[in-house]
Amino acid sequence: MSRITKLLIAGRGEIARRIMRTAREMGIATVAVYADSDATAPYVREAEEAIALRGATSAETYLDVAKILDAARRTGANAVHPGYGFLAENAEFARAVIDAGLVWVGPRPDAIAAMGDKLAAKKLMTEAGVPTLPAIEVTGEIGDQDHERAREVGYPLLVKASAGGGGKGMRVVTGEAELGEAVNGARREAAGAFGDDTVFLERYLETTRHVEIQVFGDQHGNVVHCFERECSVQRRHQKIIEEAPSPAVDAGLRLKIGQAAVAAAKAIGYDNAGTVEFLLDSEQNFYFMEMNTRLQVEHPVTEEITGLDLVREQIRVAEGDPLSFRQEDLRIEGHAIEARVYAEDPSNDFLPATGRLVAWDPDPTLPARFESGVETGSEISVYFDPMLAKVVVHAPTRTEAALRLANVLQRLRLHGVTTNRDFLVNVLRHDAFLSGDTSTDFIERQRPARERDVCEEEVRAAALAVALSAQLAHRAEASMLKTISSGWRNNPSMMQQVRCTHGGEDVIARYLRNRDGGFTYDVDGQSGAVRIIRSGDGRIELEIDGVQRTFSVVSVGLNHWVQGATGEVRLVEIPRFPEPEREEVAGGYLAPMPGKIVALNVEPGQTVSTGQVLIVLEAMKMEHRIICTEDGTVKEVRVEADAQVEAGQVLLVIDTGKEEA
């Protein structure tokens, strides 16, 4: 087979950058493709060439096979790497790439097809002697027979997209009344994310571990496994923390589950990188879930403990070379943990967030591996998955890896968009996590704090950092009277002040410059002395009451983000003049974020009850249900199906029969 000289990457964001890094090291030129909202993304700029796909949604861009192949033709690329997501596990796309005379950096199309149909895959794995859970396909509208078959599976059960992954197209169903809506929602989500709305029912095991095995095969019949990863800490069935090795897997179990994964791969003649996923119960019984016929999001933790470059191996195998290692060559070195940083609000049921990153700046003094798709100034849109980056730490022990990773995340300058960063820190420092007590219901069972607990002292220090940074900026901008010490007044009682809010509470920072160059301060009645040690490059070092602290301050308009050693404090300056208030409507239901109305379940005059799904909003490849919170009658419906809406927009109004206060 001919060598790859120019590689088109049929993906976006951090995985595109990851593949480019290895390709560049191998002397291979790269081609990026991009949707409209990704035009200024870092991966587009870093590729040798980039082709616009002319569209906004996944269907218009990254799922359009013809556009991807045309981009390869136009740029002279002789190979395609699918990354993950989108078309990565689409057998027809793989065949189209090969039929176009291009090298496909992935497994054979028939292997993808065999595992892509998860129902057929389960049957195949059973025949290969791999333990599986029973599953039943659901077709058409939910009827009596489907309810009967669901009872055979048993509640709670999982509705699962056959073509899916990454938590998309999945619903937990606890009783019959929920089944129809869960199936319909999973179908819509699966169709939007994967172009295939096939779903099936599977028994849901509430307290298990998610353990997966990295496998690798070549075109010469060699298949090895690269040990396990545990990915049990999840929300919405999507992983947020992954690690290798698993704290629950000993040498004996590792041998058994590794052999099962290799048997699964050999059953379909697998070549290239893949992952066999299992559920592991408390008795160390494991059950096949699915096989992902692609590179996984969490592959870096395997690379960190084995020293392998899995992308390099993918490219070499695609070129026809045998694997560069054998099973007996592999050893586990230390422990690696990866955290996925998402633009989302943990305190609001992990609802995805949008906006512009006003700062993205890892602390260079804390070594870590950052796989990011963003930079300062990046826009987080509604069209794609809101993952910003994966942050990975490798250490001699699991505890050290967890605590170091928490420190790295805590010190990361990440401002402008609501994220799960503080939640991840709380998980990593949680006693149950540190003891290895992880399972797929970890978040529900252990309930780690969704937000960081910011103490009053931190808020005071942040307010002083904002006030004194502004004082320095104003002084630097002054064009007159530069010889007068900034902040000095003839009347010592006239303190300068900055009025802000933090968490809905007013914070007033007052300061007065002393003749010795220091300042006297008062923050909400707490007074003392503060001195500026040094400043520059957006950072300010203060000595507050004899204690030195360093902060970075990023300000955009009235918003100030202060990053210290313990994390971020956001302060919003109170404007001199009040701003117009957002429209408030009694009984109004608002859009929680920008998105598209995919289901409008009510009409004016209809009686509704608490818990009823009124509207389904699609954003970032996920569905979000607008639920009725109080019995009443639909007074107004202000949107239509398929309409695009903005965050905070009134969608409908419910008359509850109560008089307005």
- Please report, for the domain that includes residue 609, its CATH number: 2.40.50.100
**3-state class (DSSP) for residue 501:** strand
Does any domain span residue 583? no
Q: Which residues of the chain have pLDDT under 70?
A: 1, 164-167, 474-493, 576-584, 620-621, 659-661
* 317 alpha carbon, distance to own chain's centre: 29
Find the catalytic residue in 17, 108, 209, 294: 294
Q: Are residues 71 and 193 in the same domain?
A: no
pTM of the model: 0.85
Q: Are residues 409 and 273 in the same domain?
A: yes
Domain count of the chain?
5
Q: Are strands 519-523 and 505-513 parallel, antiparallel or unpaired?
A: antiparallel
- The span from the CA of 521 to the CA of 513, in Å, is 9
**3-state class (DSSP) for residue 155:** coil
- The span from the CA of 276 to the CA of 349, in Å, is 29
Residues in the chain: 661
Q: What is the CA radius of gyration of the chain?
A: 27
Tokens of 319: 């070129």
Residue in 449, 445, 452 with CA at minimum distance from that of residue 232? 445
Q: Are residues 289 and 389 in the same domain?
A: yes
Out of 446, 465, 481, a domain closes at 446
- The span from the CA of 508 to the CA of 467, in Å, is 10
Tokens of 380: 């987080």
Neighbour tally for 221: CB within 10 Å: 10
* C-beta separation of 595 from 618 below 8 A: yes
CATH code, domain carrying 554: 3.30.700.30
Residue in 401, 332, 398 with CA at minimum distance from that of residue 369? 401
Average pLDDT, the chain: 90
* C-beta separation of 548 from 531 below 8 A: no
The answer to whether the bond into 156 is cis (omega within 30° of 0) is yes
Out of 446, 469, 498, a domain closes at 446
Does any domain span residue 170? yes
Write down the pLDDT at residue 484: 44
Q: In sequence order, which residues have a C-beta less than 8 Å from that of residue 341 and are 6 or more positions away?
A: 387, 388, 389, 390, 391, 409, 412, 414, 419, 420, 421, 424
Q: Are residues 254 and 295 in the same domain?
A: yes
Determine whether 513 is an active site residue: no
Q: Are residues 356 and 441 in the same domain?
A: yes
CATH code, domain carrying 50: 3.40.50.20
* C-beta separation of 425 from 452 below 8 A: yes
Write down the pLDDT at residue 183: 87
Q: Are residues 400 and 544 in the same domain?
A: no
Write down the pLDDT at residue 417: 95
In the numeric block, the tokens 């025949």 are attached to 127
Write down the pLDDT at residue 450: 96
Q: Are residues 413 and 476 in the same domain?
A: no
- The span from the CA of 89 to the CA of 164, in Å, is 9
Q: Are residues 380 and 474 in the same domain?
A: no
Write down the pLDDT at residue 198: 80
In the numeric block, the tokens 């203060």 are attached to 542
**3-state class (DSSP) for residue 110:** helix
Write down the pLDDT at residue 487: 47
* C-beta separation of 478 from 374 below 8 A: no
Write down the pLDDT at residue 538: 86
**3-state class (DSSP) for residue 401:** helix
Ordered DSSP codes for 21-70: HHHHHTT-EEEEEE-GGGTT-HHHHHSSEEEE---SSTTTTTT-HHHHHH
Q: Are residues 31 and 162 in the same domain?
A: no
- The span from the CA of 238 to the CA of 648, in Å, is 27
* C-beta separation of 587 from 656 below 8 A: yes
Ordered DSSP codes for 628-660: --S-EEEEEE---TT-EE-TT-EEEEEE-SPPP
* C-beta separation of 257 from 211 below 8 A: yes
* C-beta separation of 433 from 423 below 8 A: no
Does any domain span residue 115? no
**Helix 118-127, helix 109-116: angle, nearest 10:** 100
For residue 394, list its beta bridge partners.
336
The boundaries of the domain holding residue 471 are: 456-573
In the numeric block, the tokens 């390709």 are attached to 23
Q: What share of the chain is helix, strand, coil (3-state, %, to 5)?
A: 25, 35, 40
CATH code, domain carrying 355: 3.30.470.20
CATH code, domain carrying 160: 3.30.1490.20
Q: Are residues 244 and 230 in the same domain?
A: yes
CA 94 → CA 58, 59, 87, 164, distances in Å?
18, 17, 8, 17
* C-beta separation of 246 from 238 below 8 A: no
- The torsion region of residue 339 among left (phi > 0), alpha (psi -120 to 50) and beta comes to beta
Return the C-alpha torsion angle 407, 411, 413, 418, nearest 10: 50
Which strand (E) or helix (H) includes residue 93? helix 91-99
Instruction: Give the helix ranges, DSSP H, for 171-250.
Output: 179-194
The answer to whether the bond into 247 is cis (omega within 30° of 0) is no
Q: Are residues 315 and 441 in the same domain?
A: yes
Question: What is the separation, in whole angstroms, between the first and last Cα of the chain?
Answer: 76
Does any domain span residue 186? yes
Does any domain span residue 245? yes
Out of 417, 446, 475, a domain closes at 446
Does any domain span residue 358? yes
- The span from the CA of 312 to the CA of 330, in Å, is 16
Does any domain span residue 498? yes
Tokens of 468: 């004194």
Amino acid at 558: L
Q: Are residues 489 and 553 in the same domain?
A: yes
The answer to whether the bond into 245 is cis (omega within 30° of 0) is yes
Does any domain span residue 177? yes
